[in-house]
């Protein structure tokens, strides 16, 4: 029990600290690639710190849902993080639920965030909620197919079990099924984290924003919680991607040396994945909303191919 | 345990239901206080049935109650085995909550309405449902099946002044009888082969049936029961009948009446037909997947709150059938433990759906009663005047979307695990079916969440969208009590799923000879597992604990940094227009627009915009918008079918001259022919 709490505490700290850093790195790298100077890597921390100290305006049309949503978004993201292996193969709370629970807990956060968008009564909130729910719904089958492919390889939906099986055959990602599943999951994660070409996290243009439209009325600590929650969610999804497909350096126990090695490998892998995301974001333009289903259909087909190739090869 | 108390409780419950009906019929119109007695009797009946069911499930033995009828071939035989009693328990729980709710809800009826007759048919429906689940004789089963359909028909068309209710009633009546026709043929065939109409006799000859016999019988029963279960494409009565009926009846129909179809399929596939061929299971799985996807897609675009819930019932029936189909396939492949996981998922979802769908219908009833409209676009802002009703609806919405930690999540999780297990354990060609079904289940779940965000967000949040919605009041305390019970059950069944699963042991033992709860519940009752070693676990209660603990963190962060007292109310950003009104809000139609466009191939949406303007198109005086979605099954399947049947039927119109003499002659001729036939054989 104490051990579980200690592990959870360590991993929670890691989540809370690394998540804004990754967002910062992506922003800065993107700016550099576009030959802009860009913000400091630590800017997201400063933003969060500033927002947490500010007062906030609550729309008078809003109900308790509006106040509950930031907490739920933040807390579900953090909990999901504790169920995912980050530096060691066994995640602190892996008994509490596997990859299906992860997907559905994130959906719980999204459910309340979408409700809060509608709660304010503004057209933007409704527009954002509608689009967010639509895109996540059509991303879901592709995500599940990719996840099933990995889960069937590991014979388990438990994330620690999946990581352990990946460690035992660390070159498995070269198998066609795994590569296809990785591609499918990569597209889905781009869509889920609201990045270009699906959504533009930097836009506040009324007709193009999705995630930003939903949270338009939030300010102060509530906004901080949502932003922090969103970056933790992004980190968790990236972690899922790097640790289930490329398990290098994952420590098999919680010893200090293992964790040190695991942590450095983990950060390196995250950095590489962030580079990929930056490249995708810089080389693509944002798609029209109704082109997004086509992209996700590609992901679905990749997922289906991945699944079929698991029993062909 | 001694069997007599169970029998006594069971019959006592039936008598109590019947007493409620007769009492209501006799006295309701005269004194208002009698409604309390009616509801008391109905609740007492539900309690007795509930206790009898739990006792019989835990007892795990079959109890037979036989009452001779004096008519050949018909015997009033009731069999209280775990499967029957499980469905009966769901009925008891739902009817208890619905009866308490009715105490307040019936007050809202127009005083000129024959409320006594309503009470009578309501009780008759309860009695017939109970007997449908427990009948052990095909004739008895068919008779109460008819009584059930008839009493439901009268309840659906209770508001008979409205054209919609009458039409819905007729549609339900016709579809129900088409299904019953198939059932009669099926039972007669089985009866001829078994030389008896007792279910126990069917069970005995099951092993002697050839695969062709099994297959054709299964098709007949699957069609007949599928109509009641709301399976696509024979679902069309459901979205018409559920909204037309009073809300307490809709709750009962959606939660329990459609489960009679599922019960029938389970009884046939696992008990009466032995082990049906493999394709039967695949058929059920496919039909379930199609119902789930199409049901939720139609629910998404529906502006009528109760019709939306009816479509979502089709979706959930689909999910139940998916798990059931999985169980049948695994059983055909001789994998009883895997089949048991799928069956547990199926049975658990049956119970869960009964709870959360009746909760949703009851809350929708409170809302419709308060606002006087079923249209989502006329609601809005109800969370302030009706906070408790809103909370109940929200609990139901979270549960039905399959989100943790409520009960819907647990049963969907089990369904996923069963489908995943199917991939590893079935031969090559069929195995691909399971993950694909699983991914479509994921799509269904996500679309259901979208659908209920829309229903709750548009219906309950932000500003009122009509003057009626602006002046509403909280529901009657009795209605709140009924809803509150169900909401608590949703939470309890989710968090306490590990405690609940052992009650399914006698059922899987009866149907498959396997007890699963010791495999499914691990870590000292903390977590659910997928049934196989290391397959995956989930612990809903622990998740809630962790969520609550983690919620302290933002609290602490805010406490440290945030300067208190800086929470200022302010207006929502309205783009600089003078004040935010309900016209600025996103509508339900707009909310589902992206999905309507993405699935345009299915919906075939048609829209018409007429603008009148003076100077230029940018200064319109009036805009008229019309949007329509093609009801695919009605236009492409049922209308041509109906036309054809009417054309054929018109040829026979000559023999139906309206003369009673002619009819008497027909009866006489039929009798003579039948007698001759009887003498010859």
pLDDT band at B532; cut points 50, 70, 90 = low
Which residue in the set B439, B591, B595 is minimally distant from A141, CB to CB? B439
Nearest to B558 among A52, A58, A144 (CB): A52
Judge whether residue B305 has pLDDT over 90: yes
Three-state DSSP class for residue A196 = coil
The beta-strand segments (E) located in B100-212 are: none
The token pair at A294 is 């086509």
The reply to whether residue A148 touches residue B435, judged by beta carbons under 8 angstroms, is: yes
User: Helix/strand/coil (H, E, C) string of A144-192?
Assistant: HHHHHHHHHHHCCCCHHHHHHHHHHCCCHHHCHHHHHHHHHHHHHHHHH
Average pLDDT of the residues in B137-156 = 93
Hey, what's the torsion of the CAs at B348, B355, B309, B382, to 10 degrees? -140
Length of chain A: 313
Q: Which residue pairs from B522-530 have beta carbons closer than 8 angstroms and sit at least 24 positions apart in sequence? A: B523/A95, B525/B498, B525/B499, B526/A95, B526/B498, B527/A95, B527/A96, B527/B498, B528/B410, B528/B413, B528/B414, B528/B497, B528/B498, B528/B501, B530/A157, B530/B341, B530/B414, B530/B417, B530/B420, B530/B421
Contact B568 A53 (CB under 8 A): no
Please report the DSSP string for B393-435 in residue order. Answer: HHHHHHHHTT-TTSHHHHHHHHHHHHHHHHHHHS-HHHHTHHH
Angle at Cα B178 formed by Cα B172 and Cα B183, nearest 5°? 120
> Is the torsion defined by CA of B501, B502, B503, B507 positive or negative?
positive
Q: How far is B292 from chain A (nearest CA, A)?
A: 14
For residue B585, the chain A residues in CB contact (below 8 A) are: 121-123, 126
Residue with tokens 């819907």: B408
The ipTM, to two decimals, is 0.96
Q: Print the SS3 string covering B265-299.
A: HHHHHHHHCCCCCHHHHHHHHHHHHHHHHHHHHHH
Contacts A62 to B, Cβ<8 Å: 462, 572
C-alpha to C-alpha distance for B190 and B180, rounded to whole angstroms? 15
| Residue position matching structure tokens 């059920």 | B284
pLDDT value at residue B1: 43
- The single-letter DSSP state of residue B570 is E
User: What per-residue confidence (pLDDT) applies to A208?
Assistant: 76
Alpha-carbon distance A174 to nearest alpha carbon in chain B (angstroms):
22
Q: Minimum mean pLDDT among A125-139, B3-17, B363-377: which range?
A: B3-17
Residue of B204 and B361 predicted with greater confidence: B361
Tell me whether residues B593 and A118 touch, CB distance under 8 A.
Answer: no
A-chain residue closest to B566, CA distance = A55
- Three-class secondary structure of residue A198 per DSSP: coil
Report the pLDDT value the prediction gives residue B345, as an integer from 0 to 100.
94
Residues A250/A240, Cβ–Cβ less than 8 Å:
no
Tokens of A83: 């169920």
- Chain A positions in Cβ-Cβ contact with residue B456 (cut-off 8 Å): 115
Answer whether residue A3 shows pLDDT above 60.
yes
Inter-chain touch A121–B463, beta carbons under 8 Å:
yes
Q: By the CB < 8 Å criterion, does B542 face chain A?
A: yes
H or E element that contains B634: none
Residue B3: the pLDDT is 64
Q: Do B538 and A100 touch (CB under 8 A)?
A: yes
Strands B606-613 and B620-628: antiparallel
pLDDT confidence band for B174 (50 / 70 / 90) = very high
Structure confidence by residue, pLDDT tens digits, A193-228: 988 888 888 877 777 788 888 999 999 889 999 999
H helices, E strands: number in chain A: 11, 1
Minimal Cα distance from B589: which residue of A? A130
* CA distances (Å), origin B475, targets A201, B93, B100: 43, 21, 13
The whole-number average pLDDT for the span B355-365 is: 96
| CB A173, CB A180: distance < 8 Å | no
Other beta carbons within 10 angstroms of residue A152's beta carbon come to 23
Contact present, B215 and B280 (Cβ < 8 Å):
yes
Q: Please say if the pLDDT value at position B100 is more than 80.
A: yes
B569 CB neighbours in chain A (<8 A) are: 57-60
- The pLDDT value recorded for residue A135 is 94
Taking residues A88-100, report their average pLDDT: 89
The answer to whether B123 and B26 are in contact (CB under 8 A) is: no
Segment B86-106 mean pLDDT: 94
Residue-wise pLDDT tens digits, B223-272: 999 999 999 889 999 999 999 999 999 999 999 999 999 999 999 999 88
Of A108, A122, A138, the CB nearest to B598: A138
pLDDT band at B522 (very low <50, low <70, confident <90, very high): confident
> What letter does residue A36 receive in the DSSP assignment?
-
B22: closest CA among B149, B154, B122?
Answer: B122
The residue in chain A having the minimum alpha-carbon distance to the alpha carbon of residue B572 is A59
Euclidean distance between CA atoms B592 and B67, whole angstroms: 55
- Cα distances from B223 to residues A235, B216, B218, B272, in angstroms, run 49, 11, 8, 16
Instruction: Tell me, yes or no, if B526 comes closer than 8 A to chain A by beta carbon.
Output: yes
**How close, in Å, is residue A219 to chain B by CA atoms?**
10
Kindly report the backbone phi and psi dihedral angles of residue B484, in degrees, each rounded to the nearest multiple of 5, phi listed first. Answer: -60, -40
Q: Cβ of A148 and B580 within 8 Å?
A: no
pLDDT value for A239? 95
Contact state of A60 with B571 under an 8 Å Cβ cutoff = yes
Q: Does residue B380 sit in helix, strand or coil? A: coil
How confident is the model over B575-632, as pLDDT tens digits?
Answer: 777 778 888 889 999 999 999 999 988 888 888 888 888 888 788 888 888 888 888 8
**B87: closest CA of chain A, how far (Å):** 28
Note whether B249 and B347 are within 8 A (CB).
Answer: no
Contact list in B for residue A152 (CB cut-off 8 A) is 420, 423-424, 435
Cα B604 to Cα B598, B599, B633: the distances in Å are 11, 8, 12
CB atoms within 10 A of CB A247: 23
Closest CA–CA distance from residue B460 to any residue of chain A (Å): 9
| The dihedral sign for the CA sequence B301, B304, B305, B306 | negative
* Statement: residue B7 has pLDDT above 90: no
B681 confidence band (pLDDT: 50, 70, 90): low
Backbone angles phi, psi at A82, to 5 degrees: -75, -15
> Which residue is closest to B542 within chain A, CA to CA?
A96
Residue position matching structure tokens 């909550």: B97
Q: Does B413 touch chain A (CB under 8 A)?
A: yes
Please, how many CA atoms are within 13 Å of residue B308, restricted to the half-sphere of its CB?
27
The string of pLDDT tens digits covering residues B237-250 is: 999 999 999 999 99
Q: Cβ of B586 and A107 within 8 Å?
A: no
DSSP state of B583: G
Residue A99's alpha-carbon distances to A159, B536, B612, in angstroms, are 6, 9, 54
Q: Are strands A56-59 and B567-570 parallel, antiparallel or unpaired?
A: parallel
B446 neighbourhood in chain A, CB within 8 Å: 107, 133, 136-140
pLDDT of residue A304: 92
Whether residue B573 and residue A124 make contact (CB cut-off 8 A), yes or no, is yes
The answer to whether B72 faces chain A, any CB pair under 8 Å, is no
Let me know: does A86 contact A254? Beta carbons within 8 Å: no
* pLDDT confidence of residue B530: 80
Name the residue in chain B with its Cα closest to that of A12: B550
B435 part of contact set with chain A, CB < 8 Å = yes
Range with lowest mean pLDDT among A41-50, A191-200, B41-50, B407-416: A191-200
Of residues A236 and B106, the one with the higher pLDDT is A236
Tokens of B294: 């199409």
* Whether B384 contacts chain A with CB within 8 A: yes
Average of per-residue pLDDT values in chain A: 91
- Is the separation of the CB atoms in A97 and B546 below 8 Å? no
The token pair at B381 is 């802002």
Q: Which two tokens stand for residue A108?
A: 């719980």
Which residues make beta-bridge pairs with B538?
A97, B528
> Is the predicted pLDDT of residue A313 greater than 70, yes or no?
no
Q: Which residue has the higher pLDDT, B25 or B681?
A: B25
Phi, psi of B629 (to 5 degrees): -120, 135
Asked if residue B285 has pLDDT above 80, the reply is yes
CA-to-CA distance for B620 and B332, rounded, in angstroms? 66
Question: How far, in Å, CA of A162 to CA of A99, rounded?
Answer: 9
> So what's the pLDDT on residue B534?
56
Select the residue from A104, A168, A294, A310 to test the B interface by mutation, using most B Cβ atoms within 10 A. A104
Contact at CB, B453 and A75, closer than 8 angstroms:
no
Q: How far is CA A92 from CA A72, A82, A266, in A?
A: 20, 6, 16
Which residue reads 């807390």 in tokens? A75
């Amino acid at each position: 029990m104490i051990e579980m709490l200690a592990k959870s505490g360590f991993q929670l700290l890691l989540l809370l600290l690394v998540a804004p850093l990754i967002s910062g790195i992506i922003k800065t790298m993107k700016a550099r690639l576009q030959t802009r100077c860009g913000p400091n890597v630590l800017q997201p921390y400063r933003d969060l710190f500033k927002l947490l100290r500010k007062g906030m305006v609550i729309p008078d049309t809003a109900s308790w849902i509006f106040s509950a949503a930031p907490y739920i978004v933040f807390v579900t993201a953090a909990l999901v993080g504790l169920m995912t292996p980050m530096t060691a193969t066994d995640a602190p709370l892996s008994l509490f639920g596997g990859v299906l629970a992860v997907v559905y807990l994130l959906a719980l956060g999204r459910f309340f965030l979408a409700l809060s968008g509608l709660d304010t009564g503004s057209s933007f909130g409704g527009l954002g909620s509608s689009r967010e729910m639509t895109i996540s719904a059509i991303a879901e089958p592709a995500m599940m197919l990719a996840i099933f492919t990995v889960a069937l390889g590991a014979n388990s939906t438990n994330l620690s079990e999946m990581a352990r099986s990946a460690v035992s055959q660390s070159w498995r990602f070269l198998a066609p099924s795994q590569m296809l599943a990785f591609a499918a999951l990569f597209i889905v994660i781009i869509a889920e984290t609201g990045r270009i070409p699906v959504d533009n996290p930097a836009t506040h243009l009324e007709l193009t924003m999705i995630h930003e439209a939903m949270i338009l009325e939030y300010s102060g600590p509530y906004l901080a919680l949502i932003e922090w929650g969103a970056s933790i969610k992004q980190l968790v999804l990236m972690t899922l991607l790097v640790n289930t497909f490329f398990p290098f350096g994952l420590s098999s126990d919680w010893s200090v040396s293992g964790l040190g090695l695991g942590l450095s490998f983990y950060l390196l892998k995250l950095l590489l994945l962030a580079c990929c995301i930056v490249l995708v974001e810089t080389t693509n333009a944002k798609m029209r909303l109704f082109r997004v289903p086509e992209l996700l259909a590609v992901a679905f087909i990749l997922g289906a191919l991945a699944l079929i190739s698991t029993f062909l090869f | 345990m001694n069997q007599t108390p169970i029998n006594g409780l069971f019959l006592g419950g039936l008598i109590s239901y019947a007493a409620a009906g007769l009492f209501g019929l006799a006295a309701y119109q005269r004194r208002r206080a009698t409604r309390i007695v009616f509801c008391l009797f109905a609740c007492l009946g539900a309690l007795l049935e509930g206790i009898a069911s739990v006792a019989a499930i835990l007892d795990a033995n079959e109890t037979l109650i036989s009452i001779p009828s004096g008519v050949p071939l018909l015997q009033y035989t009731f069999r209280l085995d775990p499967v029957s009693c499980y469905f009966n328990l769901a009925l008891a729980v739902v009817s208890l909550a619905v009866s308490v709710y009715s105490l307040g809800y019936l007050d809202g009826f127009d005083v000129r309405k024959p409320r006594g007759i309503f009470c009578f048919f309501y009780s008759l429906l309860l009695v017939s449902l109970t007997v449908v689940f427990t009948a052990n004789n095909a004739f008895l089963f068919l008779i109460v099946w008819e009584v059930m359909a008839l009493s439901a028909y009268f309840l659906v068309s209770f508001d008979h002044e409205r054209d919609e209710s009458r039409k819905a009633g007729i549609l339900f009546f016709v579809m129900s009888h088409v299904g019953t026709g198939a059932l009669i043929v099926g039972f007669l065939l089985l009866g001829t082969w078994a030389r008896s109409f007792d279910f126990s006799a069917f069970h005995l000859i099951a092993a002697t049936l050839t695969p062709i016999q099994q297959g054709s019988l299964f098709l007949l029963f699957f069609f007949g029961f599928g109509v009641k279960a709301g399976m696509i494409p024979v679902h069309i009565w459901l979205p018409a009948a559920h909204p037309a009926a009073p809300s307490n009846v809709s709750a009962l129909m959606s939660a329990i009446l459609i489960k009679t179809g599922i019960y029938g399929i389970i009884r046939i596939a696992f008990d009466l037909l032995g082990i049906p061929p493999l394709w039967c299971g695949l058929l059920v799985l496919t039909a379930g997947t199609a119902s789930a996807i199409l049901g939720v897609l139609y629910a998404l675009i529906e502006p009528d709150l109760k019709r939306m819930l009816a479509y979502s019932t089709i979706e959930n029936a689909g999910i139940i059938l998916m798990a059931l189909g999985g169980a049948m396939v695994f059983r055909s492949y001789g994998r009883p433990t895997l089949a048991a996981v799928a069956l547990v998922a199926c049975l658990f979802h049956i119970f869960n759906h009964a709870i959360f769908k009746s909760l949703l219908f009851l809350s929708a009833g409170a809302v419709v009663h308060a606002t006087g409209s079923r249209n989502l676009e006329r609601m809005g802002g109800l969370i302030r005047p009706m906070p408790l009703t809103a909370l109940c609806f929200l609990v139901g919405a979270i549960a039905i979307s399959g989100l943790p930690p409520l009960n819907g999540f647990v049963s969907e999780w089990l369904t996923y695990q069963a489908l995943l297990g199917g991939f590893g354990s079935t031969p090559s060609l069929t195995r691909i079916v399971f993950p694909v079904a699983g991914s479509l289940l994921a799509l269904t779940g996500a679309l259901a969440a979208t659908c209920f965000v829309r229903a709750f967000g548009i219906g309950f949040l932000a500003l009122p969208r009509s003057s009626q919605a602006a002046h509403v009041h909280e529901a009657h305390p009795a209605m709140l009590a009924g809803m509150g019970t169900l909401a608590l059950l949703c939470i309890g069944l989710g968090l306490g799923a590990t405690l609940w699963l052992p009650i399914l042991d006698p059922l899987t033992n009866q149907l498959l000879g396997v007890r699963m709860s010791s495999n499914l519940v691990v870590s000292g009752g903390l977590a659910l597992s997928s049934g196989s070693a290391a397959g995956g676990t989930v612990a809903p209660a622990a998740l809630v604990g962790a969520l609550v603990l983690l919620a302290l963190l933002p609290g602490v962060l805010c406490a440290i940094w945030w300067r208190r007292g800086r929470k200022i109310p302010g207006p929502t950003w309205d783009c600089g227009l003078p004040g935010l009104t309900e016209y600025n809000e996103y509508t339900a139609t707009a909310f589902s627009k992206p999905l309507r466009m993405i699935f345009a191939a299915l919906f075939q949406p048609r829209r018409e915009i007429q603008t009148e303007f003076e100077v230029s198109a940018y200064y319109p005086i009036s805009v008229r918008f019309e949007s329509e979605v093609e009801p695919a099954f009605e236009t492409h399947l049922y209308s041509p079918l109906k036309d054809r049947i009417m054309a054929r039927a018109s040829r026979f119109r000559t023999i139906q001259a309206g003369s009673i003499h002619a009819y008497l002659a027909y009866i006489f001729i039929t009798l003579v022919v039948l007698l001759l036939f009887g003498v010859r054989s």
